Amino acid sequence: MQAFDFSHAPFSYLSPQERVRIQKSVNIAYYKNHETIIAAHTPIEYLYVVIKGLVRETGSEGEILSLCHPGDAFEARGLIEGACEHPFVAEEQTLVYTIPKAVVQEIIASNPRFGAYCYASVADKFASLAQIKNESEFESLFTAKVRDAYHNNPTWLDGSATVLTAAQTMKQRKTKSLLVRHEGRIGVLTESFFRDLLINGMPADTRIGDVATYTLISADIDDFVFTALLTMMRHHIQRVVVTENGTPVGTLEQIDVLAYFSNHSHLIAQRLDRAADIDELVDLAAQMTRSIQLLRNNGVRAPQLAQLMQVLNTGLFEKVWRILAPADLYQNACLIVMGSEGRGEQILKTDQDNALIIRRPEDADIARETAERFSATLTRLGYPPCAGNIMVSNPEWRKPLNEFKNMVLGWCRSPSPAAMMNLAIFIDAKVVAGDASMLAEVKDHLYRHMMNDAGMLMTFARAVEQFDSHSHGFFAQLLHRQPERLDVKKMGQFPIVHGIRALSLQARLEETNTFERIQKLVQAGVLNEGLGRDIAEALSYLMDLRLKANLAILAGQTDHQPNQLDFKDLSTLERDLLKDALAVVKRFKGVIRHHFHLNA
């Protein structure tokens, strides 16, 4: 008999002695096409592992709940509980390993990790995945270049400037060092100099060219960051001057290095705060994507990355609007982002979804001009125009306050599919810049007039069924039209996000983030705690898979369409968790159907 494959979970958790125990007890069984391997509600005597073939799990309504491929184990939980709820049937001629129940129970007793995998709830399985270390966790430390982390817009002063001017400039630019040009030489002046200035009583009108340091410790722009950090440590300094072809082009500080590896976004946030023009923002927008790739490689999960990107995107959008908008318009308008950007669940750059509420109708012309420049600038920064034209450059999404209120209320009074889509996008709105009270006023107007309109809420909630398949789900599609790709967003994320959004609209929650909404709905008793935890973990896992797929597209590793996941590219553990995640989606959609009477 061939050697058992221990490379897949949970068998990869076994000790050498436990692997020997499995190998001695395992047998091989053969099943013909459509032969039942496990009947529903009957005692289970073995844990099965597919060697060759395909096994399907079928639900009570005939839908295919999961497919087991070579390397997949089933049905551990049913084995422990004595029986499983659903039947498992060989879809084609299939060979399986059979491990006796007594052996499995013996190993569970001696190996808590193996047992935890078998007993784990859906949420526990997802949570355990987050603790698996990425093999490339520290790779970036040794491969990142100085050009990825340094300040490429250093502050320069002529040597004739006074130390008072230098201090004022450093405070204004929020920098700890500046470069000095003086009599054909280049020097550096750091904040520590001013400490010495006070101690030595140096006059404020002293020329900086006479006191700057001209013995520069430098690092080439193409050196490794790790090498630059060693240089700082070797010379007991806080920064190095960055050179390109021997010419100083910036500085790299220890705090920048630490920010780059622990939270690269910290550096970007600082530079966003200091940016003075659109050209500086173009480079920062590109760095934001690189930051996501770095943090993803270091094991940060998608929900946390999404929250980070919301902060950075908000800072970027606010800076663009502040640069472009006249001060009077900035104070008397409210710029909002909507959809996934408003929820804080967008990681990589996608279509623009934004709107503008104007306090005074007489500002319409200047608002139009500024809004058009804003949309064009975001396109330049890598945020493509919205295919549905949901942007401030579209007058339908740029209105005076009273007109905006009437538009939102009109969606509820005439709940067409298009109106419900607009409402869904708007419900997730979050303020980026300007007068936040205007968005609050529009939402309050909506809630006061919406009352408890059960019909409108039913129509709104029905969108959870928008991407339902007539062939009973993704696994059925995979079975009948291989190879099949799963649109993670449509079939996984959207039903959760929109179902939670519908419940939140009914409960009039202020939160826009789906995870925060789930927490509030559990606290309010709308969702039970167990289901809420499963939904949150399933959504988190689906976001991880979607990010993995889209980063592969960005890196040119696949020609898939955005959000498309190829089932055959997943590991056994990833397939197992995807099956669990889609089961949670199915269960939650049932809750939404019942809650809003969608079957009536």
Q: Report pLDDT for 33.
A: 92
Q: Report pLDDT for 129.
A: 54
Of 210-224, 412-426, 482-496, least confident by mean pLDDT is 482-496
Q: Distance of CA 532 to CAs 504, 522, 523, 574, 581, Å? A: 13, 6, 10, 21, 13
Q: Report pLDDT for 124.
A: 60
pLDDT band for position 135 (cuts 50, 70, 90): very low
Average pLDDT, the chain: 85
Mean pLDDT for 437-463 is 89
Of 352-356, 475-479, 521-525, 547-551, least confident by mean pLDDT is 475-479
Q: Is the pLDDT of residue 136 over 50?
A: no
Of 89-93, 269-273, 496-500, 534-538, least confident by mean pLDDT is 269-273
Mean pLDDT for 301-314 is 84
Who has greater pLDDT, 540 or 554? 540
Handedness of CA 191, 195, 197, 198 (dihedral sign): positive
Classified as helix, coil or strand, 47 is strand
Strands of the sheet containing 64-68, edge to edge, are 36-38, 88-90, 55-58, 64-68
Handedness of CA 38, 39, 40, 44 (dihedral sign): negative
Interior angle at CA 516, CA 514 and CA 518, nearest 5: 70
Give the 3-state secondary structure percentages of the chain, helix then strand then coil, rounded to 5. 55, 15, 30
Most confident of 102-111, 136-145, 203-212, 529-538: 529-538
Q: Report pLDDT for 264.
A: 52
Q: Which of 91, 90, 97, 20 is nearest to 51 (CA)?
A: 97
Mean pLDDT for 238-246 is 87
Q: Which of 528, 545, 541 is nearest to 580 (CA)?
A: 541
Q: Is the pLDDT of residue 482 over 60?
A: no
DSSP structure class, residue 162: B
Backbone angles phi, psi at 52, to 5 degrees: -150, 140
By DSSP bridging, strand 218-220 and strand 239-244 are parallel
Q: Which of 43, 44, 2, 50 is nearest to 29 (CA)?
A: 50
Who has greater pLDDT, 281 or 257? 281
- Which positions ≥6 away from 333 have C-beta within 8 Å? 325, 356, 357, 358, 359, 363, 367, 434, 435, 438
Classified as helix, coil or strand, 52 is strand
Residues of the chain above pLDDT 70, percent = 88
User: What token pair was written down for 278?
Assistant: 């659109």
Q: Report pLDDT for 139.
A: 45
Q: Report pLDDT for 323.
A: 94
Q: Is the pLDDT of residue 501 over 50?
A: yes
Residues 270 and 176 sit within 8 Å (Cβ to Cβ)? no
Q: Report pLDDT for 132.
A: 45
Of 345-354, 357-366, 461-470, least confident by mean pLDDT is 461-470
Q: Does domain 11-119 have CATH number 2.60.120.10?
A: yes
Residue whose tokens read 């939404």: 592
pLDDT band for position 593 (cuts 50, 70, 90): very high
DSSP string, 525-590: TSS-HHHHHHHHHHHHHHHHHHHHHHHHHHTTS--PPTTEEEGGGS-HHHHHHHHHHHHHHHHHHH
Q: Which of 161, 352, 151, 149 is nearest to 257 (CA)?
A: 149
Query: What is the CATH number that goes with domain 300-451?
Result: 3.30.460.10
H/E element, 480? helix 474-480
Q: Report pLDDT for 214.
A: 87
Q: Report pLDDT for 196.
A: 65
Mean pLDDT for 364-369 is 94
pLDDT digit string (tens) for 5-43? Answer: 888 778 888 999 999 999 999 999 999 999 999 999 899
Q: Is the pLDDT of residue 167 over 80?
A: yes
Mean pLDDT for 529-553 is 91
Rounded Cα distance between 345 and 341, Å, is: 6
Q: Report pLDDT for 470.
A: 42
DSSP structure class, residue 223: S
Interior angle at CA 460, CA 457 and CA 466, nearest 5: 145
Mean pLDDT for 364-392 is 94
Backbone angles phi, psi at 133, to 5 degrees: -75, 140
Per-residue b or e along 44-74, where b marks 16 or more CB atoms closer than 10 Å to that residue's CB = bebbbbbbebbbbbbbeeeebbbbbbbbbbb
Mean pLDDT for 117-141 is 53
Which amino acid would we find at residue 544? D
Q: Report pLDDT for 475.
A: 64
Q: Report pLDDT for 123.
A: 58
Q: Is the pLDDT of residue 471 over 60?
A: no
Q: Is the pLDDT of residue 228 over 50?
A: yes
For residue 10, is the peptide bond before it cis, meaning its omega torsion is within 30 degrees of 0?
Answer: yes
pLDDT band for position 474 (cuts 50, 70, 90): low
pLDDT digit string (tens) for 58-75? Answer: 887 777 777 888 888 888
Who has greater pLDDT, 556 or 89? 89
Q: Is the pLDDT of residue 137 over 50?
A: no
Q: Does domain 461-595 have CATH number 1.20.120?
A: yes
Q: Is the pLDDT of residue 134 over 60?
A: no
- Which positions ≥6 away from 245 have C-beta within 8 Å? none
pLDDT digit string (tens) for 213-226? Answer: 888 889 999 888 87
Who has greater pLDDT, 318 or 250? 318
Query: What is the CATH number that goes with domain 145-263?
Result: 3.10.580.10
Who has greater pLDDT, 266 or 281? 281
Domain boundaries, the chain: 11-119, 145-263, 300-451, 461-595
